[in-house]
Amino acid sequence: MTISFAPLEPDAVRYLIDRTGIDYSFCDFTGPQWFCCTARDSDGELLGVFVGEFQLWFECHITCAIRHPRFLTRRLLRTIFTTLFSQAVRLTALVRPDNEPALRIIRHLGFQYEGYLRMGVEGRWDGMIFGMLRHECRYLEKASDHGQIAKAA
């Protein structure tokens, strides 16, 4: 598997649009507000696309389209969350209520259900709002108790 954190290539943008129904065709993924991650197999086929958009300085809205579950390895998740939480206080995800696979994944990642946004996805679909705060993310390295004691002494 080959991982890239470069701006999305055209095929990755098309895949994200096809899988989410959200029009990303106008987005300039080279902008500083975007975090992009793609994974490809040895033949160059997409395994998944993950994007984060900092709409506010403290909040990143995430979107993920997965072709194969091995895309989200623990190591990659640690890298993604460490990078995003180096700036963000919170991450937000909107998931359509009928997207059971996405609901399972978002909950498994540790996001908390926060509410329901009627017609909140592209103005066409209802969305369930999920959020994660930095201290809730199990993929971040935590300071050891020993390190905390040593600092206090």
> In sequence order, what DSSP letters do the residues of 104-149 get, joined into one string?
HHHHHHT-EEEEEEEEEETTTEEEEEEEEEGGG-TTSPPPPHHHHH
Tokens (6 digits) for 75: 């190591």
* pLDDT score of 146: 41
CATH code at 26? 3.40.630.30
Long-range contacts of 32-35 (CB under 8 A, 24+ apart): 34/7, 35/5, 35/60, 35/80, 35/83, 35/84
Mean pLDDT of the chain: 90
Pair 47, 68: CB distance under 8 Å:
yes
Give residue 14's domain range: 2-152
Q: Tell me: the pLDDT tens digits for 106-117?
A: 999 999 999 999
141 pLDDT band, cuts 50/70/90, is confident
pLDDT bucket at 153, cuts 50 / 70 / 90: very low
Number of domains in the chain: 1
| pLDDT for the residue 84 | 96
pLDDT of 2 > 80? The answer is yes
* Statement: residue 139 has pLDDT above 90: yes
**What's the pLDDT at 37?**
97
Q: Which residues pair with 61 in a beta bridge?
A: 53, 92
Condensed to tens digits (0 to 9), the pLDDT of residues 38-74 reads 999 999 999 999 999 999 999 999 999 999 878 889 9
> What does the pLDDT read at residue 143?
52
Q: What is the pLDDT of residue 149?
A: 43
Of the candidates 134, 124, 20, 119, the residue with the CA atom closest to the CA atom of residue 84 = 134
Q: Residue 68 contacts by C-beta under 8 Å, 6 or more apart in sequence?
A: 41, 47, 48
140: pLDDT strictly greater than 80: yes
